[in-house]
Amino acid sequence: MDSNNLLAAWPVLGPGVAGAVFGAGWWFWVDAVVCSAAAVPFLHYLPGFFASFAALMFNCVNREDIGDGYYSPYDDSEWRVKLWLFISYVVSFVSLAGAVGFLVQDALTDTGPSAWTGTAGILQCVFVLVSGLIYWTCHSED
């Protein structure tokens, strides 16, 4: 398959790939929670929820809206779109940082969940955010 065929098939195959990656990220987390010997506190769930929300946030923006040819009949609002993207990326990186913090906390204490729960939280955030970026590159308004 040459690159032209791959580029033509990307809008068709991309959402499926993004969904599979998203499902794999949540599968890591569910596996870690189900197999955990200790109860997993609700705070450990938050990075995954915020990563999913951040993926939803940056998928609300069209790629065509951030280019030089952007036109809005209401006002010069390109900065609003870029601000929305910036906030969504901040939320995504904060969720990833929270997952890393929970991994460190789980690795240093013996009373809470195992280190696998923290590792699964990081994998969940990474996979969810990568799936959001995959979907952002393949969807269009057509």
Q: What pLDDT was estimated at residue 1?
A: 58
Q: What confidence category does residue 75 fall into, taking pLDDT thresholds of 50, 70 and 90?
A: low
Q: What pLDDT was estimated at residue 101?
A: 95
Please work out, in degrees rounded to the nearest 5, the angle formed at the alpha carbon of residue 31 by the alpha carbons of 26 and 110. 115
Residue-wise pLDDT tens digits, 21-55:
999 999 999 999 999 888 999 999 999 999 999 99
Q: What confidence category does residue 73 fall into, taking pLDDT thresholds of 50, 70 and 90?
A: low
Exposure string of 66-85, with b = 16+ CB inside 10 Å and e = fewer, is eeeeeeeeeeeeeeebeebb
For residue 141, pLDDT beyond 60: no
Of 8, 131, 135, 122, nearest in space to 59 by CA: 135
For residue 69, pLDDT beyond 80: no
HSE-up (13 A, CA, CB side) for residue 102: 28
Instruction: Enter the DSSP assignment of 41.
Output: P
> How buried is residue 134: exposed, middle or buried, by Cβ count under 10 Å (0-12/13-18/19+)?
buried
Residue-wise pLDDT tens digits, 9-23:
888 889 999 999 999
Q: Encoding tokens for residue 51? A: 């990563």
For residue 109, pLDDT beyond 60: yes
| Contact present, 120 and 32 (Cβ < 8 Å) | yes
| 56 compared with 10, residue with greater pLDDT | 56
| In the chain, where the domains are located | 13-66+76-139
Of 29, 31, 20, 45, nearest in space to 130 by CA: 20
pTM: 0.86
Query: In this prediction, what percent of the chain has a pLDDT beyond 70?
Result: 87
Q: Supply the mean pLDDT for the chain.
A: 87
